[in-house]
Amino acid sequence: MKTIDTLEREHEWIGWMAECLESQIALAQAEDILPEAAYELLSLYEQFADGRHQDKEESAFFPELLSSADEHEREVLQKLLLDHEAERRHLDAMRQNVLGAVYGEPGCVRAFVREAHDYLDLHHAHMLRETEILFPMAERLLSPEADERIVKAFEAIEGGAGDPHALREQILNLHQRAGLPRPPAA
Ligand SMILES: [Fe+2]
Ligand SMILES: [Fe+2]
């Protein structure tokens, strides 16, 4: 199913971002300084993980599923939406603390680390829920026609969001600069 292929590919990219964040947490904890690329990584989260990817799920994928979901399936979708909101709150707090740290406010690096930890815990649980519960549910519920409608809606979102290949390279560049091994080519 094209919809799931797209979202799984994006999850892989978001997984690389999570690895970057983990390495930034380790650095910030060890040296009590804000990692150089913290702001850049947060911008990527806002633009892509919290931006484009969640837009696709919330404005195209979930509504199409909701139209044929039963009560239990609606609850699953509701829980995933709540996860997105909580992720946004953590990202917002991370951004505030990164800015605070840039301006030398005390305690901001430690607060950034705390928020980033909480964000990653939530993020890993969310990814697991989508992989193990949401995608199999979508395979059951979505017709080929619904899949095509979602693909078109995804293209409309992508249309205004810049080149996805450039985005992938930017994530990989950040990943490499963090000293992480380049993921195998798809
Ligand atoms: Fe997702
Ligand atoms: Fe999601």
| CATH number of 35's domain | 1.20.120.520
**Residue 73 is assigned to a structural domain of this protein:** yes
Name all contacts of 70-77 with Cβ < 8 Å and 24+ positions apart. Answer: 73/137, 73/141, 76/129, 76/133, 76/134, 76/137, 77/134
Tell whether the model's pLDDT for residue 163 goes beyond 80.
Answer: no
Q: Is residue 71 classed as helix, strand or coil in its secondary structure?
A: helix
**Residue 94 is assigned to a structural domain of this protein:** yes
Residue 83 Cα to ligand 1 midpoint, Å, equals 10
Q: Which residues surround ligand 2, an ion (CB under 5 A)?
A: 57
What ligand is nearest to the CA atom of residue 131? Answer: 1
Report residue 38 as tokens: 């913290």
Question: What pLDDT does 184 receive?
Answer: 78
Burial class (CB in 10 A: 0-12, 13-18, 19+), 127: middle
**Residue 125 is assigned to a structural domain of this protein:** yes
**Residue 185 is assigned to a structural domain of this protein:** no
Tell whether the model's pLDDT for residue 5 goes beyond 70.
Answer: yes
**Residue 182 is assigned to a structural domain of this protein:** no
> From the CB of residue 150, how many other CB atoms can be counted at a distance below 10 Å?
24
Residue 130 Cα to ligand 2 midpoint, Å, equals 7
Tell whether the model's pLDDT for residue 164 goes beyond 90.
Answer: no
Confidence of residue 186 (pLDDT cuts 50, 70, 90): low
What ligand is nearest to the CA atom of residue 14? Answer: 1
**Residue 184 is assigned to a structural domain of this protein:** no
Residue 6 Cα to ligand 2 midpoint, Å, equals 13
Q: Determine the Cα–Cα distance for residues 98 and 100; give it in Å rounded to an integer.
A: 5
Number of structural domains found in the chain: 1
Domain that holds residue 152: 2-177
- pTM for the whole structure: 0.93
What ligand is nearest to the CA atom of residue 87? Answer: 2
What ligand is nearest to the CA atom of residue 86? Answer: 2
**Residue 88 is assigned to a structural domain of this protein:** yes
Confidence of residue 166 (pLDDT cuts 50, 70, 90): confident
What ligand is nearest to the CA atom of residue 80? Answer: 2
Residue 56 Cα to ligand 1 midpoint, Å, equals 9
Tell whether the model's pLDDT for residue 11 goes beyond 90.
Answer: yes
Residue 142 Cα to ligand 1 midpoint, Å, equals 17
